[in-house]
Amino acid sequence: MKLSQDTLRKKMLGCFLGKSAGGTLGQPYEGWEGPLGLTYYDPVPTDMIPNDDLDLQVLWADCLARQAEPVVDRDLFGRAWVEHVHFPWSEYGIAIRNLKLGIPATWSGRYDNWFKDGLGAAIRSEIWACLAPGNPELAAKFMREDAMVDHVGEGVNAAVFLAVLESAAFVESDMEKLLNTALAAIPAECGIARAVRDTRRWCSQKRTWSEVFELIKTHYGSEDFTNTVMNFGFSVMALLMGKGDFGKTVCYAVNCGKDADCTGATVGSILGLINPEGIPEEWLRPIGRKLVLSPTIVGITPPATLDDFVEQLLSLRERVRLRTAPDAPEPDWSRFALTAECGLFDRWIRYDDRKNPPVMPEKTIRRTFPGSNGCIEASEVPLNALYLMRFRFHLAKPQRVRVMFCTASLSRVWVDGAFAFGRDGGWCQPSFHHCPINQFADLDLAAGEHTLTAGVAPAGDEEMIRWTVGIGDAADFQWIPDALIY
């Protein structure tokens, strides 16, 4: 079906107005536990709230528009992450670190990425649907080039699912058909596909919103509030139970909590794309049409309004093409492995750690871990003992750093021999801006070499003790890429 320029314009604008409304509704509740009880904006905004969901799409459009012949290319996005994005968050921060370490964009989302299954790519899918309206296969190819820079696995599956659904939504309005089209584009047994199928089945059983919400949490809940599989369940439930009502749908999504700004923005964009006139004025009036970007997107001059952004996309649609270059060769991952001096300390340090610093045993081994995410078998640590690992890191200048050691197991951490922090088990979110308060310390350190000694022990019956270790800038929460001695 060939769509007129006017129809494309209306649908694209509806898509981004709906995205902005849903994201603005959910942004104050990002990371909260559901269920919530929202029925409208709270607080009521006077402009759209800036959100990375839209920021990065505006950046990609700018990068494409600057080219004489716009090409969707992972390496273009890789350069843009380093040159224009100061987001430290989760997979974004890891991708930026990896790119700065010299890992090419083909592989930067795969390496050492605790957040590879996060929503960060899926939430920037709309641009690829708009550049390939009614052409889901091309939208999926565009999306993969984008998503692989900071994701792999479910993070890419989720992004492709949405790009395909949204591209198809330019010419199809039946939600069940759209879900079927999107499911056909991803592996049938991946986590996203299973969550979508289960959520559809639960919704068809005439269950209440609360009942389906609890089923999604039980079967797909994750301690990572950005996890795609869990949040996709919430989005699909909202789309099915909202039955096309914009206000109900965005509230259903946001009231699930977790990555509430992203789920609200996603369902809002889909409904705005399907039926641009279906967004009530009460949801549009408070946010206006001014395009508001986060200050951590730098070095571009964005369009002034969402209308101007849509005009830019309409212009690009006629000219953009897909890259044809081969994949970059797989890097030598041993270059990025971390080595630690390791040994057993025969006492679990439970109370006053400052008076009882650990003593490395006379016999230690040098052990290599693939990267900042490491693990050992819990059986290696006897009862009432600590497994000690002494890492080295280097600072090029004196600075205030955030030292992070995240684990769900028992841990104690010392920096340059002084106790820094410790925990007796719990949840993990190993990003410098989100890690729990007992998994990091902000320290003023001199230039030169330092040591980070981490002691770990099982917290329960876990088979593996897993952790993430990192050194970041305490001011902007970015990884200091070359700090840990690789």
Q: What is the pLDDT of residues 213-261, one digit of tens each?
A: 999 999 999 999 999 999 999 999 999 999 999 999 999 999 999 999 9
pLDDT digits (tens, 9 = 90+) for 175-188: 999 999 999 999 99
Span 194-209, mean pLDDT? 97
- Measured distance between the N- and C-terminal CA atoms of the chain, rounded to whole angstroms: 54
- Separation between Cα atoms, residue 148 and residue 134, nearest integer Å: 23
Cβ burial, residue 104 (10 Å; 0-12/13-18/19+): middle
Residue-level pLDDT at 352:
64
Can you give 245-278 as a three-state secondary structure string? CHHHHHHHHHCCECCHHHHHHHHHHHHHHHCHHH
pLDDT digits (tens, 9 = 90+) for 270-282: 999 999 999 999 9
194 half-sphere exposure, CB direction, 13 A CA radius? 9
Residue-level pLDDT at 256:
98
- Is residue 306 within 8 A of residue 312, CB to CB? The reply is no
In the predicted model, what is the mean pLDDT of the chain?
A: 95
The residue ranges of every structural domain in the chain are: 5-322, 337-473
- Separation between Cα atoms, residue 196 and residue 235, nearest integer Å: 9
pLDDT above 90 for 349:
no
Span 93-117, mean pLDDT? 96
CA dist list (Å): 300 to 56, 65, 67, 80, 212 = 11, 11, 14, 10, 43
Q: What b-and-e string marks burial along 67-84, b requiring 16 or more CB atoms within 10 Å of the CB? A: eeebbbbbbbbbebbeeb
- Is residue 220 within 8 A of residue 195, CB to CB? The reply is yes
Residue-level pLDDT at 109:
97
- Which of 113, 110, 115, 145 has its CA nearest to residue 127? 145
Distance from CA of residue 241 to its chain's centroid?
A: 26
pLDDT above 90 for 420:
yes
**In the CATH hierarchy, which top-level class contains the domain 5-322?**
mainly alpha
pLDDT above 80 for 405:
yes
473 token code pair: 């800038």
- Which of 139, 54, 146, 142 has its CA nearest to residue 91? 146
Please report which confidence band the pLDDT of residue 98 belongs to, taking 50, 70 and 90 as the band edges.
Answer: very high
Span 199-207, mean pLDDT? 97
- Is residue 400 within 8 A of residue 443, CB to CB? The reply is yes
pLDDT above 90 for 346:
no
Residue-level pLDDT at 353:
61
Q: Which DSSP helix (H) or strand (E) runs through 389?
A: strand 386-395
pLDDT above 80 for 397:
yes
pLDDT above 90 for 486:
no
Does the pTM surpass 0.85? The reply is yes
Residue-level pLDDT at 354:
66
Do the two domains 5-322 and 337-473 of this chain adopt the same fold?
no
- Is residue 205 within 8 A of residue 192, CB to CB? The reply is no
**CATH 3.40.50.2000 assigned to 337-473:** no
Span 102-121, mean pLDDT? 96
Distance from CA of residue 139 to its chain's centroid?
A: 20
pLDDT digits (tens, 9 = 90+) for 423-476: 998 999 999 998 998 999 999 999 999 999 999 999 999 999 999 999 999 999
Residue-level pLDDT at 260:
97
